[in-house]
Structure 1
Amino acid sequence: MPDLNSTRFPVNVDAALRDAGWQPGRWDIKLAEEWADALRGHVSAGGHRHSVFPAVVEAWAEFGGLRVTAPGHGRQIAPATVRFDPLAGLHLARTLGDLGRALDTELAPLGEEGEDDGQRAVLAMDAEGRVYSIDHTGDWYLGRDIDTALATLITGTQPTRLVAGP
């Protein structure tokens, strides 16, 4: 029997998600499929295309359309506002493709983090479910899965910067 007092996420992350409209069992596969079709159909001027795979479609179905705002101060850095809309990365097929090749995986846009003041980063997920943030300062590893990435972003935990190889 499940423990009704425990949550999938840390308490403050769970609260932020619920305030944004998330609840256990949330699943909007129709929206996720619309996004998948839009991304598959987009070709950049240079001929680059987006990757779409099960892990990211599942994340879109569960969290798609949510705008999550962190309650309070961050642990090490300011917590991020997260918006789940992969179309925020529509025009970054080449960027995501290049980073995916460097990481030996495929990347798909997940949404964005940041406020409406122009300081935004694109969130991306790889085929294994790992989550990254790409902004003007570099590329960042947020966690091994969406749950870990959300905890990193919402609690203001310093993410790991990706560095180029030798």
Structure 2
Amino acid sequence: MPRFSREVEGVLRAAGWLPDRRVGLTQWKASVSEFSWHAAAESFLQEFGGLRVDISGPGITCVREPFEFDPELAIGEGGRFVELSELFGRRFFPLGEFGQGEFFLAIDEQGVIYLLGAWALRYGAGDLALEHLVMGVAPKRLVRPA
């Protein structure tokens, strides 16, 4: 069974992804040291870090928007990530930006990917989140724990 749908794999390959792709994290670890790295962030960025996906148009349940996996796009936003992490009881780590840079993409320690603003919207874990991002499936609002 293929890892991604044919369309999603084509979009990711056009952005520079290949199976078994691995990028070094040394530069990012130095430049985004204001954030608390975790294993899920490292694993995801080793495979998808540096990719910019330029998509647009209608999706399945929402418009498809471009996104980029570069944690340096969140430099200076450490306080926001700490605040949202505490608010939702997760350790959000920045993956990059969504749309025209108006929202952040983040990953928690379980490998679940989110869209962050003043709230958190959940795309799902790993490959499922990529399918949703590329195909235009609206993320689900994350409810704060009581």
TM-score normalised by structure 2 residue count: 0.90
1:44 alignment partner in structure 2: none
1:43 alignment partner in structure 2: none
Determine if the alignment matches structure 1 residue 99 to structure 2 residue 81: no
Which digits, 9 at most, give the CA deviation of each residue in 1:57-95, with x for residues without a partner? Answer: 121111111111237530111112110100111121111
Give SS of 2:98's match: strand
CA apart distance, 1:163:
3.2
1:25 alignment partner in structure 2: 20
CA RMSD of aligned residues (A): 1.8
1:163 alignment partner in structure 2: 143
Query: Is the Cα–Cα contact under 8 Å of residues 13 and 70 in structure 1 kept in the other structure?
Result: no
1:150 alignment partner in structure 2: 130
Q: How does 1:121-136 map to 2 (within 5 A)?
A: 121-135=103-117
Which is greater in Rg? 1
Query: Is the Cα–Cα contact under 8 Å of residues 40 and 110 in structure 2 kept in the other structure?
Result: yes
Gaps of 5+ in 2: none
2:40 alignment partner in structure 1: 55
1:34 alignment partner in structure 2: 27
Determine if the alignment matches structure 1 residue 139 to structure 2 residue 120: yes
Write the distance in 2 (CA, Å) between the matches of 1:18 and 1:86: 20
2:8 alignment partner in structure 1: 13
Give SS of 1:59's match: helix
Give SS of 1:91's match: coil
Runs of 4+ in 1 over 3 A off after TM superposition: 163-166
Q: How does 1:82-97 map to 2 (within 5 A)?
A: 82-97=67-82
Write the distance in 2 (CA, Å) between the matches of 1:164 and 1:57: 26
Provide closer, same or farther for how the CA distance between residues 9 and 71 of structure 1 changes in structure 2, counting only shifts above 3 A.
Answer: farther
What is the aligned residue count? 146
TM-score normalised by structure 1 residue count: 0.80
Query: Is the Cα–Cα contact under 8 Å of residues 75 and 155 in structure 1 kept in the other structure?
Result: yes
1:70 alignment partner in structure 2: 55
Query: Is the Cα–Cα contact under 8 Å of residues 111 and 126 in structure 2 kept in the other structure?
Result: yes
Write the distance in 2 (CA, Å) between the matches of 1:150 and 1:85: 15
Give SS of 2:47's match: helix
Query: Is the Cα–Cα contact under 8 Å of residues 132 and 141 in structure 1 kept in the other structure?
Result: yes
Gaps of 5+ in 1: 1-5, 41-48
